[in-house]
Amino acid sequence: MTEEVHILNGSWIIGLKQAKQNSTSEITSWTKHNIIRLIGFAVSISFLLSFIAILQAYRLANRASLHDALTHLPNRRFAMSILEQLQQGSFSIISIDLNRFKIINDTYGHAVGDALLIEVAKRILSTLRSSDTIARLGGDEFLIILPRVTERDSINRVINKLEKHVCELPFRYQDTTLDVCMSMGVARYPQDASTLSDLLHFADEAMYLNKQQKREE
């Protein structure tokens, strides 16, 4: 390629010529000069991918340790951590137990029992505020945590809402239709107990009393 450049006393012709080179030798030369850098990049990427995989596995394991596998609700460990954080203020808990759940399991099988637990968990969750917590403690036992709620009227409104949304509609699973009935017991912190263990015991006692009353009705 040439180009003529005009100046005051004449002109110049500037020319460029591309030298012929062996492309293979260029690649080989580049690789020799950058092999250490390439290895470093590969090792760094490998470490990064391993770290991401380990971090993801840790997150999944931590989530699994804090949530119930069947209902995907928080479990007892999660609920206790929430209660410990709330001890600086006031709150209430509602202990819930499904009535006749063992009979349902024995009569219709565990598939129906598991489906009932999942449905009850969804119904309870749909009635609560975003600041409330519903946890499955095990079996057919659930625990509701109501932060900053200790007035009887407010708690009764929650209980009435739960009775309506959880128990009014029957549960249908394939060809099986079942009535949903549950017992509830309330405990307020710090009015009813000064420790978490006593608070849970107080709520359980109230729940069993409610269950006994429903059996006698």
Which residues are the active-site residues? 140
Q: Where are the alpha helices (DSSP H) in the chain?
A: 23-66, 76-86, 101-108, 110-127, 152-162, 196-216
Q: Which residues of 38-70 are buried (b: 16+ CB within 10 A; e: fewer)?
A: eeeeeeeeeeeeeeeeeeeeeeeeeeeeebbee
Q: Which residues of 79-101 are buried (b: 16+ CB within 10 A; e: fewer)?
A: bbebbeebeeeebbbbbbbbbeb
